[in-house]
Amino acid sequence: DTEVTQTPKHLVMGMTNKKSLKCEQHMGHRAMYWYKQKAKKPPELMFVYSYEKLSINESVPSRFSPECPNSSLLNLHLHALQPEDSALYLCASSRRGVSLRQGSSGNTIYFGEGSWLTVV
C-alpha cells in the first residue's frame, strides 16, 4: 500500500478566508512533504517534516503554515492567500526521515492526488 490521502480534492477560498489542507498516510513513513505545483510545471518543495519536526522550509511565505499533529497526519493551514497561490498542493511521504548522517539509498517519495486550490 503506497497510499497518501489528501482532502479536500478541491477548495475555493477568498483572500480573507482561513482554510486547511489535510494529508494522511498509514504506511509508517517518517517524512512528510508539501509541494506546490502550477499547471504544466514540476512540483516545488515547500516543507519537509521529519520525525514530526519541521526540517525544511523552502522560504515559504507565512500565509502558509504547516502542522504535523502526529506521524500519520500533515496539515497545511492557509490564511490571507493571494490569487497567485492558486495551484495544486501535493502531499507526499517517504519511509525514512531526513538525516544527514544516515545512508539513505532508495528512499522513494510517494505523492497524494493533491488538493486543487483556487484563491478568488
Partner 1 sequence: AQRVTQPEKLLSVFKGAPVELKCNYSYSGSPELFWYVQYSRQRLQLLLRHISRESIKGFTADLNKGETSFHLKKPFAQEEDSAMYYCALGPQETSGSRLTFGEGTQLTVNP
Interface residue list for partner 1 (CB under 8 A): 2, 31, 33, 37, 40-43, 45, 48, 50, 55-56, 90, 94, 96-100, 102-114
Pick the closer one to partner 1 by CB: 60 or 80.
60
- Least separation in angstroms between CB 94 and partner 1: 6
Least distance (Å) between residue 34 CB and partner 1? 12
Q: Nearest-CA neighbor of 90 among 37, 52, 48?
A: 37
To partner 1, the closest distance from the beta carbon of 72 in angstroms equals: 18
CA distance 74 to 63: 16
Closest to partner 1 by CB, 9 vs 18, is 9
Cβ distance to partner 1 smaller for residue 16 or 40:
40
| Residue among 16 and 101 whose Cβ is closer to partner 1 | 101
